[in-house]
Amino acid sequence: MGAAAGWVLLALLPVAGGQTTPPSGCGKDLSSLYYNLCDLSAAWGIVLEAVASLGVVTSFVLTIVLVASLPFVQEPQKKSLVATQVFFLLGTFGLFCLTFDFIVGPDFSTCTSRRFLFGVLFGICFSCLLAHAVALNFLARRNQGPRGWVTLAVALLLTLVEVIINAEWLIITVARQEGGSPDPCRLEDADFVMALIYVMFLLVAAFGTAWPALCGRYGRWRKHSAFILATTSLSMAIWVAWTAMYLYGNQHAGEKPGWDDPTLAIALVCPNKGDFSYTGGP
């Protein structure tokens, strides 16, 4: 369904380039940077804005519900995983918020935050999935997992690696530009995708680590592993789709670079709808 929604949204993309007058639905005093938020002739921005807003509210509510339900959780094993789940939901919340960064037009601040936060926020989510999957393997075999702070620390350390990678990549690629002032918006598509290799590794590792938990002695943990497998499977399918579209599909369709920002915005929204299945497991 996520891939189908992506194609529907891409069908709504604007066919025209730059505009000299405010489009229908936008005020005269509004900066052209924000036209996609209100342009009725370019429905992709409004649709993604609505979906992202729903995701922001949903992830916030789920976080509150998860924290509020903590006193009612009787099993210490499940309670120890709540901190990692909250961290995961915070990453999901950030991804939905980042969608607005790809809807508005590019400038120095939006391009910088796009390049840095895209990988970091996905890194948070996939690190939590991987750390949780590791804990489930202990629980499925011994019914006793690592302490909650250990699982959270693993997720934080895995995320820190992506933070360092993105910070160095952003500094190096901007500093090496020749002529004129540094512009983070000048970026090759392949460079953007290559910078996400570590994030892809986290996703694949979480998928692979969740499988052994299905064969553990304590079958009550299999459901939790199944939720992680469902989440990572959907995420991998969507990542393959948006990467192919971003690198090859847009150029083949003759809509490059006009479709690049919508493609990345859809990539932020679609996987996160599937990520909510993870929060329903533990």
* 109 contact partners, CB below 8 Å, separation of at least 6: none
Say if CB 264 and CB 111 are below 8 A apart: no
278: pLDDT confidence band, cut at 50, 70 and 90? Answer: low
Of 121-135, 158-172, 256-270, least confident by mean pLDDT is 256-270
The pTM for the full model equals 0.86
| pLDDT(72) > 70 | yes
End-to-end distance of the chain based on CA atoms, in angstroms?
24
Could you read off the pLDDT of 216-248 as tens digits, one per residue? 888 788 888 999 999 999 999 999 998 988 888
**80-117 burial by CB neighbour count: b if 16+ within 10 A, else e?**
bbbbbbbbbbbbbbbbbbbbbbbbbbbeeebbbebbbb
The Cα 94–Cα 71 span in angstroms is 26
254: pLDDT confidence band, cut at 50, 70 and 90? Answer: low
pLDDT at 10: 45
The Cα 172–Cα 195 span in angstroms is 12
Strands (E), the chain: none
CATH topology of domain 21-279: Rhopdopsin 7-helix transmembrane proteins (1.20.1070)
* 102 contact partners, CB below 8 Å, separation of at least 6: 114, 261, 262, 264, 265, 268
Say if CB 187 and CB 119 are below 8 A apart: no
Quick check: helix, strand or coil at residue 97?
Answer: helix
